[in-house]
Amino acid sequence: MIFMLKIKDGSDKVIGSLSNGGYIKYITKPEKVEFWAKTESTSSVTLDMKSNTMYCIKGEINMGFIVGRQHLTIMDNKICQEELKETSAIVK
């Protein structure tokens, strides 16, 4: 199942599609940013982004009434880097 992970920046710019086992790398200037995904419901997390800092948000899909319901959570960076090793991501 694929869902759209969006950034709410006044223009609701889509930054990518996230599927099982996938990842999206997003670089931004330091600011408060709300990331969200929507199907029949909406899930969002807000991060106060700092310079030279990595943040990880995990997207999961659970069964909903008609379509999957997404759930976004902020992850611990150590756990995130371990999980990224299982993808094609290059973690520095």
Structural domain spans, the chain: 3-84
Joined together, the tokens standing for residue 4 give 């759209």
Higher model confidence: residue 13 or residue 3?
A: 13
Give me the chain's average pLDDT, please.
78
At residue 88, the pLDDT reads 61
Q: What is the mean pLDDT of residues 60-79?
A: 82
> How far apart are the C-alpha atoms of 10 and 34, rounded to whole Å?
10
Please indicate, yes or no, whether the overall pTM of this predicted structure exceeds 0.85.
no
Joined together, the tokens standing for residue 37 give 């995904």
At residue 8, the pLDDT reads 57
SS3 category, 75: strand
Q: What is the mean pLDDT of residues 57-62?
A: 82
